[in-house]
Amino acid sequence: MTHERKPVRDIRRYRLLYEHSRDMLLFIRARDGRILDASPSAVAAYQYSRAELCSLTIHALRAPDTRADVEARLATAQAAGVLFETRHCRKDGTVFPVEVSAQSANFGRQEVILSIGRDITDRKRVERLLAKEREELRVILDAAPVMIFYKDRDNRIIRVNRARAEASGLAKEGMEGKTVGELFPDRAAEYWKNDREVISSGEPKRSIVEMIETPGGPRWVRTDKIPYRDEAGTVSGVIGFSVDITELKQMEAELRETALRDPLTGLFNRRGFIALAEQQIKTANRTGKPLLVIYADVDDMKLINDTRGHEEGDRALIDAARVLTQTFRESDLIARIGGDEFAVLSIGITDRNRETYARRLRETIASFNADQPRPYRLALSWGTAVYDPRTPQSLDKLLSRADRMMYRQKRGKAR
């Protein structure tokens, strides 16, 4: 009996420690799991008296479905100490989660395991709430049609939602943890430019129109990028929200094209011709290559409208457009710039080519009249003007010169 009570007396030397500990301290005899002493916090947690606890083994405090591993846990504690989570039972049978740190020690000639338990009910509840919130956030992010991503200061993708991963044709797991340079080497510098501005300024950058690579080819997106700040308020990365605007861009392009096209002939209209011709003049000034402007109209257009009707007049305009398209190159600008007036801008053409184009145009008109029976013969009058980059002049002056030459030709036909 004296031998059995000696470890208990030795244990109680540490009473000051365990009397005031908020953790549940149990001293357990290693050879059979018998509880030798318990701290007041253990008594309160398990709802047994100290005497009742000291009449039990540690097995009695374990939740039924955890008892199978008691021996293994005790063996590990005896060998090197152990930290683990488990579930214990109170006297009334309720089960609660516990984090246990157990370590073997010698008291007298007996080996005793010091078990320090902590009720982690609140922690587990918080963990469950956090896990639930993370899952809800994941579901929301993955359900969002907007592409969302978070990158750190090293241009490394930390998180992406399903929409962004699917747009790239990659798995989320295949994107997260990779740098943009690894995933999109051709566009990494372009993407990173805006990110760097957000990180350095600490200010959002909105409505960035950029292109992303997708399995179906490039897509246009509009992106808002905002700084991501850590708990200290330091900018640690960028959060991006992207919306696919490819269809909108295509509609805008179609609307621009429509605004520059003549609906009857399909050629450029006056607005389109002037806009594109001005660009070509700037290019000619830079490269030194000349341009040829042709100004043409349909002969006897008023007579066709008056005698054959405006429907036949429209057909004559369409025929004239077809003749011009067949005569000039695909790279040349061809436009209907007025009622029956047309203009052509041919690149890299000089005075020496005027007769060549005139002959080709006459041949095309003759071939058209031979192949397309009409109640009239299609006829055009035209004039030309060469733009020389060495002596620049405005597009209006070029068109006026060609227009005057065209009227001289028309008056010559009338004689």
Q: Please state the domain extents for the chain.
A: 2-119, 126-248, 260-414
- pLDDT tens per residue, the chain (415 residues)? 445 555 555 555 566 666 778 899 998 888 888 999 899 999 999 999 999 999 999 889 988 887 666 666 666 666 667 888 889 999 999 999 999 988 887 876 788 888 899 999 999 999 999 989 888 888 888 888 899 999 999 999 999 999 888 888 888 888 999 998 888 888 888 888 889 999 999 999 998 888 887 888 888 889 999 999 988 899 999 999 999 888 888 877 777 777 889 989 999 999 989 988 998 999 888 888 889 999 999 999 989 988 989 899 999 999 999 999 999 888 889 999 989 999 999 876 655 667 788 888 999 999 999 888 888 889 999 999 989 888 989 999 999 999 999 999 888 776 5
What are residue 245's phi and psi, to 5 degrees?
Answer: -120, 25
Asked whether this chain's domains 2-119 and 126-248 adopt the same fold, the reply is: yes
Q: For residue 297, what pLDDT is reported?
A: 93
The dihedral sign for the CA sequence 23, 29, 33, 37 = negative
Q: For residue 324, what pLDDT is reported?
A: 94
Fold designation for 260-414: Alpha-Beta Plaits (3.30.70)
Tokens representing 1 are: 């009996």
CATH fit for domain 2-119, picks 3.40.50.300, 3.40.50.150, 1.10.1740.10, 3.30.450.20? 3.30.450.20
Neighbours of 119 (CB within 10 A): 18
Q: For residue 1, what pLDDT is reported?
A: 44
Q: Which CATH architecture has domain 126-248?
A: 2-Layer Sandwich (3.30)
Amino acid at residue number 140: I
